[in-house]
Homo-oligomer: A and B are copies of this chain.
Amino acid sequence: MVKARAYAATSATSPLASTTIARRDPNEDDVQMEILFCGICHSDLHQVRNEWSGMMPTVYPCVPGHEIVGRVTKVGSAVKKFKVGDLAAVGCMVDSDGACPECKAGFEQFCPGLVLTYNFPDKHLGGVTYGGYSDSIVVKEQFVMRVPGNLDLAGAAPLLCAGITTYSPMRHWGVTKGKKVGVVGLGGLGHMAVKFAHALGAHTVVFTTTASKKDDALRLGADEVVLSKDANQMAKHAGSFDFILDSVSALHDINAYINLLARDGNLTMVGASPDPLPVAVFGLLFRRRSFSGSIIGGIAETQEMLDFCSQHNVTSDVEVIPIQKVNEAFERLMKSDVKYRFSIDMASLKSE
């Protein structure tokens, strides 16, 4: 076993604080890496504060973080794709059963034996898995992605969750040149959605409740910005969208957006409102529209996304922080006070 430095919460109400955790010695199929950057995802905050107690109760100490970019420091004897010194990345998953139809079809995220990067039973060391708010991690090769060398590493970290979460449904629903795509909500997920829709060649429209976000939306790649509170602006777009990605994770009027879809248009939720969203059936009947959801993406598709980002020069807009500011960052995240993702520079952990 190897000792690793990490930031952990010891209860739902404790701040994250410096600690030491164990990482396993790499098995023959494992990659050990030094973590360089780790993005802060809203899920980290939910998990640390045990806000998903019904579905996924938090085991303490909890080390969150599933947007991990680093450098390989050791590889097991059977590892083929990585060598010491390579850039590598880990996202939300670190293992799955590998045998079920979902795994075989490249949808590890739907595997019943899925192991998440943190707060999931750890079959190697017991206890639960520990995430990326740490100076190192050991992960099965199959769940480690290559990081193209031209990507800014701090901005690449959020691609592992915010990136794949928005890229995957766009690819699934056929976003491409000639399509009209809407993005609802301009936060960590939404800003990635704008970049991907634009890079995929679609006419990209951002919906926002905040007029002041317009310039930033255009800078990120939007062709148009619509104030969703303005009924006239909304009406002009009725029945015209091929695809809308909705990143809002609270109760909101989803029918206002469903009505903007063209025939066979799809609205995909990537935000997870805890309250059910009331859907007007007539809005679906006319034009044969559909309303769906999507969650991250499989390992192969995550690698495809990183390669796409390399080709199109896409990374997340990040505010880089030292890990000592993580609790402050959590508070700011609650107020959406970040453009658009925090990325922790893990070099800061060396000074602990």
Interface of A toward B, CB cutoff 8 Å: 55, 102, 105, 107, 110, 169, 172, 255, 263, 266, 269-273, 276-295
A105 to B288, CA, bound (A): 14
- Out of B278, B286, B295, which one reaches A295, CB within 8 Å? B286
| CB-based nearest B residue for A173 | B290
Contacts of A276 in B (CB 8 A): 255, 278-281
Q: Please give 6 more A-B residue pairs, beta carbons under 8 A apart, in addition to A276-B281, A284-B293, A291-B292.
A: A172-B288, A266-B290, A276-B278, A279-B291, A285-B294, A291-B291
A293 to B263, CA, bound (A): 11
How many copies the complex holds: the figure is 2
Shortest C-beta distance, A238 to chain B (Å), equals 11
Shortest C-beta distance, A114 to chain B (Å), equals 11
Contacts of A270 in B (CB 8 A): 285
Contacts known (A110-B263, A263-B110); A281 close to B272, Cβ less than 8 A: yes
Contacts of A271 in B (CB 8 A): 281
- The reply to whether A279 and B277 form a contact with Cβ atoms under 8 Å apart is yes
A285 to B293, CA, bound (A): 4
- The reply to whether A284 and B266 form a contact with Cβ atoms under 8 Å apart is no
| CB-based nearest B residue for A264 | B172
A199 to B33, CA, bound (A): 56
Contacts of A279 in B (CB 8 A): 276-279, 291
| CB-based nearest B residue for A293 | B284
- Out of B266, B277, B288, B292, which one reaches A293, CB within 8 Å? B288
- The reply to whether B285 and A102 form a contact with Cβ atoms under 8 Å apart is no
- Out of B273, B285, B291, B294, which one reaches A288, CB within 8 Å? B294
- The reply to whether B107 and A263 form a contact with Cβ atoms under 8 Å apart is yes
A285 to B55, CA, bound (A): 14
A55 to B169, CA, bound (A): 34
- The reply to whether B292 and A284 form a contact with Cβ atoms under 8 Å apart is yes
A280 to B276, CA, bound (A): 4
Shortest C-beta distance, A175 to chain B (Å), equals 15
Shortest C-beta distance, A239 to chain B (Å), equals 9
- The reply to whether A284 and B269 form a contact with Cβ atoms under 8 Å apart is yes
Can you give 22 A-B contacts (C-beta < 8 A)?
A: A105-B263, A110-B263, A110-B286, A110-B287, A169-B288, A255-B276, A272-B281, A272-B282, A272-B285, A273-B281, A276-B279, A276-B281, A277-B281, A279-B279, A284-B292, A285-B295, A286-B295, A288-B292, A288-B294, A288-B295, A289-B292, A289-B293
